[in-house]
């Protein structure tokens, strides 16, 4: 039996996602002037919580398994410069890459588990089928507050109102045809503490865990509300 090679389709998915994000084809969720159709996908839901495009005729109820592509993580434009201008704890490009890698790894450790909790089995890329959905998630417009509190004893204490915020985005592909069949944009998700609290290694780690858990649950919930699933 021949094996379907997913390397090509996954590269196409990555290029598609990068194009969508780089040229600003993702309008804010809930915006009144969003396109009714993009790349053959029709707008079926548009609120402040989520914006959903699907290919006509696709019933997502058929998909009970998923292959999750490594998450794409992108900071908010000019975040590093603004952070270093306004925060006591300066960071560099190398640390930004480390933060992205850490958040990506943590998200990928949690998101598949959230799908499994909702009855969606997780498979490898070598297991395509008519019931397998390929999910390419992204965390974009990322803002992380007080990312480096290690030297606060020397520089003073930092207080933050939230761990950070981001916009959640996902493109959905049929695993057999490699056709783009859906796109989800979740409104900005902010992990608000409900007040200011001091940033420390302990509070940052706890806040980071809670923030990523929430992002994973939010995106899994949005997937559960696709046509045929809700």
Q: How far apart are CA 160 and CA 145, in angstroms?
A: 7
> What local confidence, expressed as pLDDT, does residue 72 receive?
93
> What local confidence, expressed as pLDDT, does residue 48 receive?
78
pLDDT digits (tens, 9 = 90+) for 69-98: 999 998 888 877 877 777 666 778 888 888
Topology at the third CATH level for domain 7-223: Rossmann fold (3.40.50)
What is the average per-residue pLDDT within 173-200? 70
What is the average per-residue pLDDT within 15-35? 53
Domain limits, the chain: 7-223
What is the average per-residue pLDDT within 60-65? 93
Percent of the chain with pLDDT over 90: 31
Query: Would you say 53 and 182 are in contact if contact means Cβ atoms under 8 Å apart?
Result: yes
How many angstroms from the chain centroid is the CA of residue 45?
Answer: 18
pLDDT digits (tens, 9 = 90+) for 106-162: 999 999 999 999 999 999 877 889 999 999 999 888 887 655 444 444 444 443 445
């Amino acid at each position: 039996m021949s094996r379907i090679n997913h390397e090509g389709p996954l590269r196409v998915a990555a290029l598609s996602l990068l194009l969508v994000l780089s040229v600003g084809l993702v309008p804010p969720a809930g915006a009144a002037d969003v396109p009714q159709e993009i790349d053959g996908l029709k707008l079926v839901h548009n609120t402040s919580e989520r914006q959903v495009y699907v290919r006509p005729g696709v019933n997502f109820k058929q998909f009970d398994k998923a292959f999750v592509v490594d998450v794409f993580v992108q900071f908010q434009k000019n975040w590093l410069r603004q952070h270093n201008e306004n925060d006591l704890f300066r960071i560099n490009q190398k640390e930004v890459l480390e933060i992205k890698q850490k958040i990506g790894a943590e998200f990928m450790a949690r998101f598949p588990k959230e799908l499994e909790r909702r009855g969606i089995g997780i498979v490898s890329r070598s297991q395509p089928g008519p019931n397998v959905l390929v999910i390419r998630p992204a965390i974009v417009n990322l803002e992380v507050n007080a990312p480096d509190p290690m030297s606060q004893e020397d520089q003073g204490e930092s207080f933050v109102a939230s761990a950070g915020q981001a916009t959640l985005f996902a493109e959905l592909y049929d695993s057999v045809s490699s056709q783009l069949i859906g796109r989800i944009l979740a409104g900005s998700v902010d992990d608000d503490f409900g007040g200011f609290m001091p940033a420390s290694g302990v509070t940052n780690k706890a806040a980071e865990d809670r923030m990523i858990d929430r992002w994973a649950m939010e995106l899994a919930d949005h997937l559960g509300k696709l046509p045929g699933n809700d």
